[in-house]
């Protein structure tokens, strides 16, 4: 059933550029991959990072620099962005893994802020102006300057990253990560080197976040301080919580909802203003932060498991009732 659902979603994604704006769809895919990478850490390992924006920005800056200044091929630029994010994840992980809970989270935030100020001051990042004019180039003879061609490349990158996450979660390594999340002392007592597993998960999550950042830079053609700011780390937390932490598809749904909300709220407000003739709706585009905060509060109060988590819990609660009904029907048929 899951494979059929994935196939249907993939077919819809293949046809999406025919009805939607390709650049916006590519941005959705990049943030969905970023959220999935973060979910691998918090949802399956139980580590809350407040500094994941550093990996998104590092991947974007390194890929942008490789393509604009070093004039490397697109594939090499993306690979360099992933490698830079993975190395940064290794350094941050070695420093942060020694602590747990809120102390781990605060260390990641502090280290991410150091990355932010380094990006602000470093001459290669061009400070507040950011890296501009990043060329798309070609890949295997395909002209990535064509939005439609680039969309399918980005879709392939997302599918590959998501498949890696699915494989990781269902592997023995992923089962150990779940054991660490549920009961770390018991995992230690079973002989697992918990710190090593957490570090590997941290580096893998950082590398995938770097891939999302590098791909996003290729799509938009620029990289700015927005991607390394602490608010981006908060945004990916919101995406994961809204969609459903610890679920495979939850972060994708959450990323789509939040990004669509940020980019289309003004259009929605203008439409509501025309329909209801209430001028206040026309100002919704200027109140994205307020609306996003309201969505976060509503999710925490009403949907503790997120959208996908709540749907899964509802289906799971109905399954025993359906089984009991079938059992009664079988008994009645047997008695007759």
Buried b (16+ CB within 10 A) or exposed e, 287-326: eeeebbeebbeebeeebebbbbbbbbeeeeeeeeeeeeee
In a domain, 203, yes or no: yes
Check pLDDT > 60 for residue 336: no
Q: What is the pLDDT of residue 6?
A: 82
Confidence (pLDDT) at 332: 53
Q: What is the pLDDT of residue 323?
A: 61
pLDDT of 104-113, one tens digit each? 999 999 999 9
Q: For residue 112, is it within any domain?
A: yes
- Look at residue 155 in the predicted model and tell me its pLDDT: 94
Structural element, H or E, at residue 142: strand 142-143
Instruction: Give 301-330 pLDDT, tens digit per residue.
Output: 777 788 888 887 777 777 665 565 665 555
Domain of residue 87, residue span: 21-319
pLDDT at 1: 67
Would you say residue 296 has pLDDT above 90?
A: no
Evaluate whether residue 268 is within a structural domain: yes
How far, in Å, CA of 216 to CA of 90, rounded? 22
4 band by pLDDT with thresholds 50, 70 and 90: confident
Domain count, the chain: 1
Distance between CA 71 and CA 66 in Å, rounded?
6
Mean pLDDT of 224-247: 89
pLDDT score, position 12: 87
On whether the CB atoms of residues 92 and 54 are closer than 8 A, the answer is yes
- Is 119 a domain residue? yes
Q: Would residue 1 count as lying in a domain?
A: no
Residue 2 above 80 pLDDT?
no
Please name the residue ranges forming H helices in the chain: 2-15, 22-42, 53-68, 74-96, 101-121, 147-169, 172-182, 184-189, 194-220, 230-243, 250-276, 288-302, 306-335
pLDDT of the residue at 326: 60
Q: Does residue 333 belong to any structural domain of this protein?
A: no
Would you state the pLDDT for residue 39?
Answer: 94
The pLDDT, as a whole number, for residue 328 is 59
Cα 217 from chain centre: 15
The answer to whether the Cα torsion of 60, 66, 67, 73 is positive or negative is: negative
CA distances from 274 to 127, 288, 291 (A): 41, 19, 20
- Residue 99 contacts by C-beta under 8 Å, 6 or more apart in sequence? 107
pLDDT at 13: 87
Q: Say whether pTM exceeds 0.85.
A: yes
Can you give the CATH number for the domain in which 222 is found? 1.10.3470
Which residues contact residue 181 at a Cβ distance below 8 angstroms, ignoring those fewer than 6 apart? 44, 45, 46
Q: What is the pLDDT of residues 79-106, one digit of tens each?
A: 999 999 999 999 999 999 888 889 999 9
pLDDT digits (tens, 9 = 90+) for 237-268: 989 988 888 888 889 999 998 888 877 777 77
With respect to residue 83, please indicate whether it lies within any of the assigned structural domains: yes
Q: Is 15 inside a domain boundary? A: no
pLDDT at 316: 78
Per residue in 146-179, pLDDT tens?
Answer: 889 999 999 999 999 999 999 999 999 999 999 9
Q: Write down the pLDDT at residue 38.
A: 95
Tens of pLDDT, residue by residue over 17-63, are 888 889 999 999 999 999 999 999 999 999 999 999 999 999 999 99
């Amino acid at each position: 059933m899951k494979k059929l659902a994935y196939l249907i979603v993939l077919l819809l994604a293949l046809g999406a550029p025919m009805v939607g704006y390709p650049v916006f769809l590519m941005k959705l895919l990049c943030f969905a991959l970023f959220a999935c990478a973060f979910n691998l850490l918090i949802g399956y390992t139980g580590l809350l990072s407040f500094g994941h924006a550093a990996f998104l920005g590092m991947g974007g800056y390194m890929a942008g620099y490789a393509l604009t200044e070093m004039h490397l091929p697109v594939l090499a630029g993306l690979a360099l962005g992933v490698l830079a994010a993975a190395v940064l994840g290794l350094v941050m992980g070695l420093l942060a893994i020694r602590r747990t809970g809120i102390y781990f989270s605060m260390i990641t935030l502090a280290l991410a802020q150091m990355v932010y100020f380094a990006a602000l001051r470093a001459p290669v990042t061009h400070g507040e102006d950011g890296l501009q004019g990043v060329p798309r180039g070609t890949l295997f003879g395909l002209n990535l300057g064509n939005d439609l061609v680039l969309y399918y490349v980005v879709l392939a990158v997302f599918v590959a990253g998501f498949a890696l996450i699915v494989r990781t979660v269902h592997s023995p390594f992923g089962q150990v990560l779940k054991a660490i999340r549920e009961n770390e002392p018991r995992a230690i007592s079973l002989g697992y080197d918990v710190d090593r597993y957490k570090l590997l998960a941290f580096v893998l999550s950082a590398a995938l976040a770097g891939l999302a950042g590098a791909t996003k830079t290729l799509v938009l053609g620029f990289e700015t301080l927005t991607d390394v700011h602490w608010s981006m780390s908060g945004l990916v937390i919101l995406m994961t919580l809204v969609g459903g932490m610890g679920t495979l598809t939850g972060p994708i749904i959450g990323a789509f909802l939040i990004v669509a909300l940020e980019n289309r709220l003004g259009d929605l407000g203008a439409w509501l203003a025309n329909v209801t003739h209430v001028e206040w709706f026309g100002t919704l585009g200027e109140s994205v932060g307020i609306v996003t905060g309201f969505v976060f509060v509503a999710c925490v109060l009403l949907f503790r498991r997120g959208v996908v988590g709540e749907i899964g819990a509802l289906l799971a609660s109905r399954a025993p009732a359906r089984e009991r009904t079938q059992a009664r029907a079988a008994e009645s048929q047997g008695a007759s």
